[in-house]
Structure 1
Amino acid sequence: MSELTLTRRGFMAGASSLMALTAAGCATTTRPTTQIQLPPPISPEVVTMYAARPQEQFPVPAVDLRYLDQKYYRQRVPYPTTEKVGTVIVDTPNFYLYHVEDGGTAMRYGAGLGRAGFEWSGRGHIAYSREWPIWTPPSEMVDRQPELEKWRNGQPPGLDNPLGARALYIHEGNRDTIYRIHGTGETWTIGQAVSSGCVRLLHQDVIHLADAVRFGSTIVVL
């Protein structure tokens, strides 16, 4: 597999627009009426990988594989790159997130990304992650959607929280970009341009990534 050529998109377009982008990126979406045609058979490994996680603080249900194209299953793939081991690379046109490993491979995750794209290309780093984080909608979003007023000071963690099971916080230098990699239970949004901001991974995948990524690791959007 040759190294993927990624489009020139980024994760920052100014502080004020970023707040709007992040808010849009964390919003929920409507479940589609159509389903992905499942390839028979689904391997036991995939079923196990996306099984329920009852041990979580908020028990995570199994992924509904009727809504997930098999190409977005988490898997280790050949990925030659000059980036350091541990780097996270967002492949926006193909809806993938790669975590670079030793020996020319990477762990690849299917992602849901922004419908509006990004106008900045560059590098940041993963400053830290949070389990079952609180989500605080920006004031601009609350002004547009008055029903969110009750969450102005933060929505408690849980399956209904837009950030899901984990959130990885992206900084540029010492500054928070207001850009997140976070969990979702909305299986049908993986592989789709559904937002204007954050990168969504399935709960099971974002837990796996958060466990593997070291704080300070580089994230690249080319």
Structure 2
Amino acid sequence: MKRALFLFTCLAGALSMGFSPALANDRYIERPPVRVSPDLAAPWVLQLGKAPDNARRVHRTQPAPRAGAQAQQRQRAVQTQPARVQQASAPRMVQKRTVRPQINPIYLPQVVNYNGKHKPGTVIIDTRDNFLFLVEKNGKARRYGVGTGKPGFEWAGTHKVSAKREWPDWRPPAEMIAREKARGRHLPTFVAGGVENPLGARALYLGSTLYRIHGTNQPWTIGAAVSSGCIRMRNEDVVDLYERVPVGATVVVM
């Protein structure tokens, strides 16, 4: 009885002080939600078992790019460089040029001494040393370098200059066409006069033969045995000879 009176007295005191009575099932009442601070860098957030997605994105380490990604990054870096830098790094293209051998200076025109038996105005061709001499007065001769017949096409004899032509046309003989065809080289039947013509700028025809003293579009061959029997000269040299030698002049091939 005394215990019940004591509990009633305590309850009445609590009510008089503004407290509401607590029931036995109050411990099972749903609690209000916990409010998470928006400061995701706060230490207590980092201690949670599972941080929010945006927190994981902020604090995780970025993985190293793959090899392909590295190549793409380097490519983008090159593309963003100034144009002058890209040009400097590009390999330099060197144009390859064809270099022709130079003519030996000994075959350039010059005046030499002459004490032979032929009179002035005679043309003498030395096929052994590849020289052409135009005999002049007072024991002198004008000497030029020439190309002569290759092995199997050498010849010797004396003829007169029967005709002269400027920038002559070329009609290869049938024998030459057949011979070159057997070697796999096809010659045209006609080549008009011009810089590409094998006879060059001038031609002096020798008697009734097919041989000529003529220019060439291959001046580097002067001084060698290279022709099919004709006597070839540099174009500038044959032009000079052409002006000095008339039709009817004697030509001696030795």
Superposition TM-score tier, normalisation by shorter sequence: 0.5 to 0.7
Deviation of 1:109 (Å):
0.3
Query: Which residue does the alignment assign to 2:170?
Result: 135
Match of 2:242? Answer: 210
Q: Structure 1 residue 200 and structure 2 residue 232: aligned? A: yes
- What are the superposed Cα offsets for residues 36-73 of structure 1, whole Å, 9 maximum, x if unpaired? xxxxxxxxxxxxxxxxxxxxxxxxxxxxxxx1111111
Within 2, Cα distance between the matches of 1:201 and 1:191?
9
Matches within 5 A, 1:45-124: 67-116=102-151, 120-124=155-159
Is the 8 Å Cα contact of residues 126 and 218 (structure 1) preserved in structure 2? yes
CA offset digits 1:160-211 (Å, max 9, x no partner)? 111110010000xxxx111111101322101111123111100000000001
The aligned residue for residue 22 of structure 1 is none
CA contact (8 A) 1:116 1:195 kept: no
Higher helix share: 2
Check whether the contact 2:166–2:203 (CA below 8 A) recurs between aligned residues.
yes
Q: Secondary structure at the match of 2:151?
A: coil
Distance in 1 (alpha carbons) for counterparts of 2:174 and 2:155: 24
Q: Quick check: 1:184 aligned with 2:216?
A: yes
Q: Please, which of 158, 161, 176 is the counterpart of residue 126 of structure 1?
A: 161
TM-score, L = length of structure 1: 0.64
Amino acid at match of 2:105: Q
Q: Secondary structure at the match of 2:163?
A: strand
| DSSP-derived class of the 1:140 partner | helix
Q: Retained in 1: the 8 A contact 2:155–2:229?
A: no
Runs of 5+ unmatched residues, structure 1: 1-31, 36-66
Give the counterpart of 2:205 among 152, 160, 169: 169
Deviation of 1:34 after TM superposition, in Å, equals: 6.8
- 1-structure distance, mates of 2:176, 2:129: 28
> Which contiguous aligned blocks of 4+ residues in structure 1 show a shift greater than 4 angstroms?
117-120
Counterpart residue identity of residue 123, structure 1: T
Higher relative contact order (CA 8 A, sep 6+): 1
Determine if contact 1:132/1:158 at 8 Å carries over to the other structure: yes
Report the TM-score when normalising by structure 2.
0.56
Alignment partner of 1:159 is 2:198: no
Instruction: Tell me, in whole angstroms, the C-alpha distance in 1 between the residues paired with 2:135 and 2:148.
Output: 20
Partners of 2:169 and 2:193 within 8 A in 1 = yes
Secondary structure of the corresponding residue to residue 103 of structure 1: coil
Aligned identity (percent) is 47
What letter corresponds to residue 189 of structure 1 in structure 2? T
Root mean square deviation, CA, Å:
1.9
Number of residue-to-residue matches in the alignment = 153
User: Are 2:111 and 2:140, in contact at CA under 8 Å, matched by a contact in 1?
Assistant: yes
Match of 1:147 in 2: 186
Write the distance in 1 (CA, Å) between the matches of 2:247 and 2:152.
26
